[in-house]
Structure 1
Amino acid sequence: MKSKFLRYLLMALFLVGILVVTGCSDDSDTAGSDSDSGSEETGEDSGESSEERMELRVFVPTFSTEPPTDDSPVLKKIEDYTNKDITMEWIPNSNLEDKFNITLSSGDLPHVMMVPNKSPSFISAVEDGAFWELGPHLENYPNLSQANDIVLKNSSINGDIYGIPRTRDLGRNGVIIRKDWLENLGLEEPKTIDDFYNMLKAFSEEDPDGNGKDDTYGVVVSKYEGPWDVMQTWFGVPNKWGEDENGELYPFFMDDNYLEALNFFKKLYDEGLVNEDFAVMDPAQWSDPVVSGEAGVQVNVLDEGHRIQEKIIDANPDNTDPITVIKSVEGPTGLHNLPTSGYSGMLAVSKTSVKSEEELKQVLDFLDKMNDEEAQILAENGIEGKHYEIVDGEYQSKIKDDPALKAEVDGFNQMLMYLPEAKSLSPSSSPLRQLENQLMVENEDIVVANPAESYISEVYSKKGQQLDNIIFDARIKYIVGQIDEAGLEEAVERWKSSGGTEYMEEINQLHKDAQK
């Protein structure tokens, strides 16, 4: 009897509870709307949105001393757009790698982490199963599926994708030329390696600045190795590793075209077409000779062109259009260029916070939506009318001179991957900047991929610096005439005996494993 009585009592209390809740709900709806049906629909939608929203912790760098707070209206808009409750974990960029390692060691990993690079600690964490392998899932998302294959491979670990790359211009390298010098000498932009040589010769010997003095030369190079790496691809030299007809990989300096490239560099040096002090020149001063009118050419990232031009115009406002840029020149095997890695860090998904494939799908949906135009504009530019305006079709930022507004926006772009492209807003650019951007896109068709970029070599992790120094030192010594072809061959043998042979064997084994 007591048991039956208790059951009835509990049922009665339950029904009273329902009536109380319903009554409260009805009062609320009536106060807010003339329509009961509309009120119920609004309440239902709100409840569903709250229940569906996944809580997401995002670990990214900040370059600001005052990154956005949780109250940022931009963050609220991003949360609404992606249907996620987001907690930003801002890490000072100067301390990013240390904090990344500390967070890995703690075992308390946020859902999404910006990985600064393929560091040993990240690779170790991947091997320990701390991050999701994302490759098989990308095809299911409209933006993520459009990631550049070369960039994906560059950012992968032995061919597997453990992070969405924050893409940057893959075809950023090119040639910066004093356009005013070309015009003074009646020269066209070079199309071939021979044209390039003839231009450097003219810049060195034909008084391109018209001052009547023998005070100019062709191309400026610093101790940074990049320009030689770029120019040797013009001759058909591989990007770090080549692949023979049997599918075997070999290092670039064993390529048949490598010596031809070195002989060209040596010719430039012997004829005074490149600065004599290139091997010791500080890269911080690398652009100065082009700005000051000593050198006419620099092989560098294309966007350095407009920075050089702005400095020339500041010094001489009458010289309004002194610089042009080209992407490459044609060599014996066609038109080639050296790519950048194509990314700056990547967004990885941890398994400690994201415990199931269903949760992974929600995180990937978030990352995919962050590539939509609306999300990119929010993260990069803020909210229209508050952080920027569109005046006569032109973007105008309002945050530049307003620290409070800037603090609501600054840093959210660290979550952006720009897939398949950047869609955020920017001010109108100069014709030179437009040309730079155009060539960066065109370069993607001619860049030379490194077939071993994704392979993680234990030999290289221990001996890479020593091995690289042997080859780079030999290249410089050959260019300046300190060694001959026999000296180059000796350097290659020293490279092999110092661990290079093991390195080649390991890379080829990794390459074979990746083909399976």
Structure 2
Amino acid sequence: MLLAMVLLLVAGCGGSAPAATETPGSGNEPTPNEGEQTEEPLNLTIMLPIFKTNYPKDGSPVVAELEQRTNTRIHLEWVPNASYTDKFNITLASGKLPTIMYVPDAKASSFVSAAKSGAFWEVGPYLKDYPNLSQANEVILRNSSIEGKNYGIYRGRVLGRNGVVFRKDWLENVGLEPPQTIDDFYNVLKAFKEQDPDGNGKDDTYGMVLVKWTGQWASGFDIMKLWFGVPNKWGLQDGKLMPEHEFPEYVEALQFMKKLYDEKLINADFAVMDSAKWNDPIVNGTAGVIVDVVDTAARIDDRIKAAAAQEGKELPEGEHYMDVVGAVAGSDGQLRTLPTSGFAGMLAIPKSTVKSEEEFKRVLAFLDQLNEPELQTLLGFGLEGTHYTLEGEHVVPVKDTVLLESEVEGLNQMLTFIPMDQGRKVKQTPLRIKQEEVQKANEEFIVSNPAEPFISTVYTQKGAQLDNIINDARIKYIVGQIDEAGLQSAFQVWRNTGGSELIEEMNELYSQAAP
């Protein structure tokens, strides 16, 4: 007992307590151990789109690692991408909002109305206080703004991202070269339907797979229509802004799509096909082409290679199943490509959920921290040793696609890539190198939207209804439910429902913005 008392006395004199002359804040107080959290974890609910039927769950390994590194507790609300806009609007109307909410279209009427009424924090004045967010691109900030104010953190993307993704092995089997014109493109689709490109002796393939979405996320049609000379949403006609569907080239593009449908060169269920399954027909060997972002080629290629490896089939080093081209030339020989706006939606912070400025700043700090290279790598590829290995400086994902889907894929939807993608990269195969080359080359042929910066009051109020009129007519025309007269009738309904007011207002905004 005496020995124990001596030991306690010695421990008490160990110098761990501050001297009597020390005062809090003097700089002499003890500092937390490295990695020790000094604040309670920040509770976050994050609503994101998902493109697969399987997705990371709360507390799964990568999410748990993210929580540990950022001192947070995270609940993920996953919404299928194909129905995200509907769910977004329902959630917005309910008033029960998450902490961070992915906004698919920064100019959608529902979001614009909510933002202007004060439902979301304005982030612009705070960006300067964060090391990564302070480097946001001014052009993209302007593109994503509402009347010059930013109500979310944009998710940065490459401008020249869109193109044609196709099965390279199929193209070689039918003896064709990569398409350079619209006619070449049609011939490829026809050959993929009629010439047994997979060599199995069965009539079980078709040309191109399409899905139902349109709008902020470019569908195949949104990209392809520019090949025909259709403007990007709005175009100039005799010095006046006019909507894309009132140009004759728009009908020409629809006639081409109808031809593809009639000849069964595209999937008959395109109008209802879930975008979460967009890549499946390519991987499964039933379709040969997707018109989408060109970087989807490498993702599809990885899936095909993984499936082939399970069957004992391996391609030689440097070979790949997929290939890409940028835009194909129209009848006038011109190349045109649909650009992104430099961002793919944004992450907004609702005031009804994040009530204090102090909490708002912590949420911004979390989004800023996600741009650190280590966290970009974590959310893009998962945990080293579990989801990927390193080959030099390059990431080599494991071949277990089920593991990747259930623990990694989709988490990158919360990344904003500001100022840029700084995480580790997969090994730069010839296909990935070509993807980057195509994206860079595309920038020369970008067709900009002259009305991009404008916020229309009419569109804020009636935009969803007006868009539905055109989208419904487009689908009905392609599948043969209406003829060209019916299409023109729908265009007139669009004008009568508010389209004429929209044209007038957009031209007023355009004239005010003119130098």
Find the partner of 2:145 among 125, 142, 156.
Answer: 156
CA distance in structure 1 between the partners assigned to 2:438 and 2:371 by the alignment:
23
Residue 277 of structure 1 corresponds to 268
Secondary structure of 2:149's match?
Answer: coil
Tell me, yes or no, if structure 1 residue 175 matches structure 2 residue 173: no
- Whether contact under 8 Å (1:91, 1:99) holds in the other structure is no
1:322 maps to amino acid: Y
Q: Deviations over 1:73-101 (max 9, x none)?
A: 865655xxxxxxx6556453469969975
Secondary structure of 2:245's match?
Answer: helix
Residue 425 of structure 1 corresponds to 424
The aligned runs of 1:397-416 (5 Å cut-off) are 416=415
Residues 508 and 56 (structure 1 numbering): CA distance in 2 closer, same or farther, change over 3 Å?
farther
The aligned runs of 1:57-68 (5 Å cut-off) are 60-61=46-47, 65-67=57-59
Residue 326 of structure 1 corresponds to 325
Residue 192 of structure 1 corresponds to 181
Alpha-carbon deviation of 1:250?
1.8
CA distance in structure 2 between the partners assigned to 1:396 and 1:209 by the alignment:
28
How many residues in Structure 1 have an aligned counterpart in Structure 2?
463
Residues 386 and 91 (structure 1 numbering): CA distance in 2 closer, same or farther, change over 3 Å?
closer
Higher helix share: 1
Alpha-carbon deviation of 1:423?
1.9
Greater Rg over alpha carbons, structure: 1
1:241 maps to amino acid: W
Unaligned runs of 5+ in 1: 1-26, 79-85
Residues 439 and 287 (structure 1 numbering): CA distance in 2 closer, same or farther, change over 3 Å?
same
- Whether contact under 8 Å (1:74, 1:383) holds in the other structure is no
Unaligned runs of 5+ in 2: 1-12, 49-54, 81-86
Identity of aligned residues (%): 42
CA distance in structure 2 between the partners assigned to 1:240 and 1:410 by the alignment:
31
- Whether contact under 8 Å (2:261, 2:268) holds in the other structure is no
Find the partner of 1:92 among 77, 85, 91.
Answer: 77
CA distance in structure 1 between the partners assigned to 2:479 and 2:91 by the alignment:
43
Tell me, yes or no, if structure 1 residue 238 matches structure 2 residue 231: yes
Tell me, yes or no, if structure 1 residue 258 matches structure 2 residue 258: no
Alpha-carbon deviation of 1:396?
7.3
Alpha-carbon deviation of 1:231?
0.7
Residue 4 of structure 2 corresponds to none
Residue 299 of structure 1 corresponds to 291
The aligned runs of 1:383-398 (5 Å cut-off) are 392-395=392-395
CA distance in structure 1 between the partners assigned to 2:226 and 2:474 by the alignment:
15
CA distance in structure 2 between the partners assigned to 1:456 and 1:328 by the alignment:
29
2:46 maps to amino acid: V
Residue 15 of structure 1 corresponds to none
Alpha-carbon deviation of 1:282?
3.3
The aligned runs of 1:453-472 (5 Å cut-off) are 453=452, 457=456, 459-460=458-459, 463-472=462-471
Residues 76 and 504 (structure 1 numbering): CA distance in 2 closer, same or farther, change over 3 Å?
same
Tell me, yes or no, if structure 1 residue 475 matches structure 2 residue 468: no
Secondary structure of 1:180's match?
Answer: helix
1:179 maps to amino acid: K
Q: Deviations over 1:453-478 (max 9, x none)?
A: 56555544554454334433443455
Residues 374 and 193 (structure 1 numbering): CA distance in 2 closer, same or farther, change over 3 Å?
same
- Whether contact under 8 Å (1:291, 1:308) holds in the other structure is yes
**RMSD of the TM alignment (CA)?**
5.4
- Whether contact under 8 Å (1:159, 1:455) holds in the other structure is no
TM-score relative to the length of structure 2: 0.66
Secondary structure of 1:336's match?
Answer: coil
Find the partner of 1:126 among 111, 115, 120.
Answer: 115
Residue 84 of structure 2 corresponds to none
CA distance in structure 1 between the partners assigned to 2:389 and 2:209 by the alignment:
42
Q: Deviations over 1:373-405 (max 9, x none)?
A: 35545776789899987565455799x99x9xx
CA distance in structure 1 between the partners assigned to 2:271 and 2:167 by the alignment:
24
